[in-house]
Each structure stands twice: as C-alpha cells, then as structure tokens.
Amino acid sequence: DFALSTEITLEDWKARPLWRRVKQRLWGWIDRLVVNLLDQRN
C-alpha cells in the first residue's frame, strides 16, 4: 500500500547493507520478469 510506504533516497539506499540491496534488486528483477511473462499470455 503506497499510503504506508516511505520514500528511499539515494543516500538511504547506499547506507543499506550490501546483501539487502542485492536481495531487493533480485526480487525487483524477478517481479519484472513475471509481469512480462504474464503480459505475453494475453
């Protein structure tokens, strides 16, 4: 829910542990892949 979300600045992003950034990038990539695959089914 966007109402409960908080904005992450570049400084906040860089301050996160490397493993957390890697996991977020990985899940973002997987999410994009799944959305694209489901979109091709129509």
Q: Is residue 13 within 8 Å of 21, Cβ to Cβ?
A: yes
- Looking at beta carbons, which pairs linking 24-32 to residues 24 or more positions away fall under 8 Å? none
Check residue 40 and give its pLDDT.
Answer: 78
Check residue 42 and give its pLDDT.
Answer: 57
The DSSP symbol for 2 reads: G
pTM: 0.62
Cα–Cα distance measured from residue 24 to residue 17, given in angstroms and rounded to the nearest whole number: 11
Check residue 23 and give its pLDDT.
Answer: 95
pLDDT tens, residue by residue, 1-42: 788 899 989 999 899 999 999 999 999 999 999 999 988 765
